[in-house]
């Protein structure tokens, strides 16, 4: 058995990654470290708690991280403060977890000579104009807009510096917007699904012409496993499933239609300051070098995944209801 330490494994993508790993790669013995912030939920892992080791702790805790890393073969680093709107209200936890936390992980893998895969985001590249024919590539210069994306960019730079200066055995992936089960109701898609389930209108920021490139969380995680197994040490891989959609026409209207509501049953709310206009990914390196193929690609790329996600939120009100009122109160205070 190989040992794998998953940071942030009680969050949205990290918990889906743990489930995906146990199902598809049973040769890994998994340990999760998670601080259980507002975004971490042990219920995400309740079905597999007897198959993993779970440590409640902070990635900024150097002694704890050093001890856990010493006892693993590979670290897959998901832990982060992840929500742009929160970073506009209070950037401090973003600087602490995303930068200092990643620094602690890097020092530990350096000390113990362990393999690291660092999970990052397309937001490090900034945004594209609506009519720009380009898509983000591994070589696109960094130009982050928000405190969240700036701290993720900082963490990527640290990883590259530790690879080059200290020979740390690491890879990086930059992925586009994920959707799927266990995603916190603060995020766009679960917020709209649960608003409709509570008989309120979805909330669209600004004009809604913003474009995001959506990927099902299982497709993100299959790519991460390929990079862990076959990726070139020191390299970066873009992960995207070519599902660029405007927030209004495609995503909100698709959700409304799948949930049996009129396509125009949504309201406009205040825009996000500094709101990135468009993300689009070119994942040809992942396809050509590692042979990755996303699975959620039928019916204009999102309908099956979105329907399964809607069904999951319908079937799991006990999971999302406890977070919902507090999240909406925060949004209301910000005019969203
Ligand atoms: P999330 O907010 O759902 O989960 C983050 C997890 O990290 C939570 O369980 C939280 O408790 C934990 N955590 C936070 N601070 C911690 C600390 N100091 N120590 C230990 N644990 C801590 O986030 P997510 O959407 O699952 O994102 C996971 C990773 O993927 C992040 O690095 C994010 O930048 C990246 N990413 C996310 C997306 C997306 O669409 N959500 C896309 C690309 C990349
Ligand atoms: O691109 C990858 C990034 O995707 C990740 O790095 C982040 O961790 C993740 O949160 C996500 O960032 P976004 O800011 O793109 O996602 P969010 O779900 O917050 O918003 C998606 C789009 O929807 C964005 O254009 C803002 C808009 N939006 C969001 C909310 C919550 C709305 O129109 N209405 C809303 O209620």
Residues 6+ apart with CB under 8 A from 328: none
DSSP 8-class letter at 328? H
Measured CA to CA, the distance from residue 261 to residue 280 in angstroms comes to: 29
Which run of H or of E encompasses 239?
strand 236-239
Measured CA to CA, the distance from residue 2 to residue 109 in angstroms comes to: 16
Contact 120, 173 (CB under 8 A): yes
Taking the centre of ligand 1 as the mean of its atom positions, its distance from the CA of residue 13, in whole angstroms, is 7
| Ligand sitting nearest the alpha carbon of 118 | 1
pLDDT recorded at residue 280: 95
pLDDT recorded at residue 219: 97
Query: Of 106-115, 222-231, 273-282, 296-305, which gets the smallest average pLDDT?
Result: 296-305
Kindly state the average pLDDT of the residues 61-72.
Answer: 98
Cβ–Cβ contacts within 10 Å for residue 322, how many? 12
Kindly state the average pLDDT of the residues 275-288.
Answer: 97
Topology of domain 2-179+214-239, per CATH? Rossmann fold (3.40.50)
Q: Kindly report whether the global pTM for this prediction surpasses the value 0.75.
A: yes
Q: How confident is the model at residue 302 (pLDDT cuts 50, 70, 90)?
A: confident
Taking the centre of ligand 2 as the mean of its atom positions, its distance from the CA of residue 187, in whole angstroms, is 6
| Ligand sitting nearest the alpha carbon of 205 | 2
Kindly state the average pLDDT of the residues 140-153.
Answer: 98
Query: Is residue 247 scored above 90 in pLDDT?
Result: yes
Mutational pocket test of ligand 2: of 39, 151, 205, 302, the residue with most ligand atoms within 8 Å of the beta carbon? 205
3-state helix, strand, coil in the chain (%, to 5): 45, 20, 35
The rounded percent of the chain whose pLDDT value lies above 90 is: 96
Residues 6+ apart with CB under 8 A from 200: none
The rounded percent of the chain whose pLDDT value lies above 70 is: 99
Measured CA to CA, the distance from residue 183 to residue 16 in angstroms comes to: 10
Q: How confident is the model at residue 249 (pLDDT cuts 50, 70, 90)?
A: confident
| Residue nearest ligand 2's atom 19 by CA | 187
Measured CA to CA, the distance from residue 270 to residue 23 in angstroms comes to: 42
- The per-residue DSSP string of 195-211 comes to HHHTT---EEETTS--E
pLDDT recorded at residue 92: 98
Instruction: Exactly one of 122, 127, 218, 282 is catalytic; name it.
Output: 122
Taking the centre of ligand 1 as the mean of its atom positions, its distance from the CA of residue 285, in whole angstroms, is 25
Query: Is residue 305 scored above 80 in pLDDT?
Result: yes
Kindly state the average pLDDT of the residues 183-205.
Answer: 98
Catalytic site residue 122?
yes
Measured CA to CA, the distance from residue 279 to residue 125 in angstroms comes to: 9
Q: In what order do the strands lie in the sheet with 211-216?
A: 177-179, 211-216, 244-246
Q: 17-27 in b/e burial notation, b at 16+ Cβ within 10 A?
A: bbbbbbeeeee
Taking the centre of ligand 1 as the mean of its atom positions, its distance from the CA of residue 68, in whole angstroms, is 19
Query: Is residue 78 scored above 70 in pLDDT?
Result: yes
Q: How confident is the model at residue 297 (pLDDT cuts 50, 70, 90)?
A: confident
Kindly state the average pLDDT of the residues 69-94.
Answer: 98
Instruction: Read off the tokens for 119.
Output: 């999970």
Mean pLDDT score of the chain: 97
Domain ranges across the chain: 2-179+214-239
Q: Is 177 in the pocket of ligand 2 (CB under 6 A)?
A: yes
pLDDT recorded at residue 62: 98
pLDDT recorded at residue 299: 65
Residues 6+ apart with CB under 8 A from 201: 195, 265, 266, 267
The number of helix segments (H) and strand segments (E) in the chain equals 12, 12
Measured CA to CA, the distance from residue 135 to residue 325 in angstroms comes to: 37
Residues 6+ apart with CB under 8 A from 109: 69, 75, 115, 116, 162, 168, 169, 170
Task: Give the CA distances from residue 174 to residues 33, 40, 78, 162, 180, in Å, rounded to whole numbers and listed in that order.
Answer: 22, 21, 12, 18, 18
Q: Is 78 in the pocket of ligand 1 (CB under 6 A)?
A: yes
pLDDT recorded at residue 250: 80
Kindly state the average pLDDT of the residues 172-179.
Answer: 98
Instruction: List pLDDT tens digits, range 15-63.
Output: 999 999 999 999 999 999 999 999 999 999 999 999 999 999 999 999 9
Measured CA to CA, the distance from residue 244 to residue 300 in angstroms comes to: 10
Instruction: Exactly one of 34, 58, 123, 195 is catalytic; name it.
Output: 123
Q: Is 65 in the pocket of ligand 1 (CB under 6 A)?
A: no
Catalytic site residue 142?
no
Catalytic site residue 63?
no
Query: Is residue 300 scored above 70 in pLDDT?
Result: no
Q: Is 13 in the pocket of ligand 1 (CB under 6 A)?
A: yes
Q: Is 8 in the pocket of ligand 1 (CB under 6 A)?
A: yes
Instruction: Read off the tokens for 327.
Output: 């999240």
């Amino acid at each position: 058995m190989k040992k794998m330490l998953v940071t942030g494994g009680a969050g949205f993508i990290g918990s889906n990654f743990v489930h995906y790993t146990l199902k598809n790669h049973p040769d890994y013995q998994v340990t999760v470290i998670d601080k259980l912030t507002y975004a971490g939920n042990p219920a995400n892992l309740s079905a597999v708690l007897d198959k993993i080791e779970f440590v409640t702790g902070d990635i900024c805790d150097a002694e704890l991280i050093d001890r856990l890393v010493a006892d693993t073969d590979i670290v897959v680093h998901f832990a982060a403060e992840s929500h742009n709107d929160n970073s506009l209200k209070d950037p401090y936890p973003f600087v602490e977890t995303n930068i200092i936390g990643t620094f602690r992980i890097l020092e530990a893998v350096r000390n113990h000579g362990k393999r690291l895969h660092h999970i990052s985001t397309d937001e490090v590249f900034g945004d594209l104009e609506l009519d720009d024919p380009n898509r983000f590539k591994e070589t696109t210069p960094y130009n982050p807009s928000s405190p969240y994306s700036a701290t993720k960019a900082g963490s990527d730079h640290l990883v590259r510096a530790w690879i080059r200066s200290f020979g740390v055995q690491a890879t990086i992936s930059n992925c586009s917007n994920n959707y799927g089960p266990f995603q916190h109701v603060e995020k766009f898609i679960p917020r709209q699904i649960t608003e409709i389930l509570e008989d309120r209108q979805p909330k669209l920021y600004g004009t809604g012409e913003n474009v995001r490139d959506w990927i099902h969380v299982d497709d993100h995680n299959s790519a991460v496993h390929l990079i862990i197994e076959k990726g070139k040490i020191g390299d970066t891989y873009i992960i995207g499933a070519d599902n660029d959609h405007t927030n209004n026409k495609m995503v909100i209207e698709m959700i409304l239609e799948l949930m049996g509501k009129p396509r125009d049953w949504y309201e406009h709310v205040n825009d996000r300051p500094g709101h990135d206009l468009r993300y689009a990914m070119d994942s040809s390196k992942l396809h050509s070098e590692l042979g990755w193929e996303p699975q959620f690609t039928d019916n204009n790329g999102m309908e099956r995944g979105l329907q399964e996600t809607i069904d999951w939120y319908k079937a799991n009100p006990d999971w999302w209801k406890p977070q919902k009122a507090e999240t909406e109160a925060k949004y209301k205070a910000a005019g969203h």
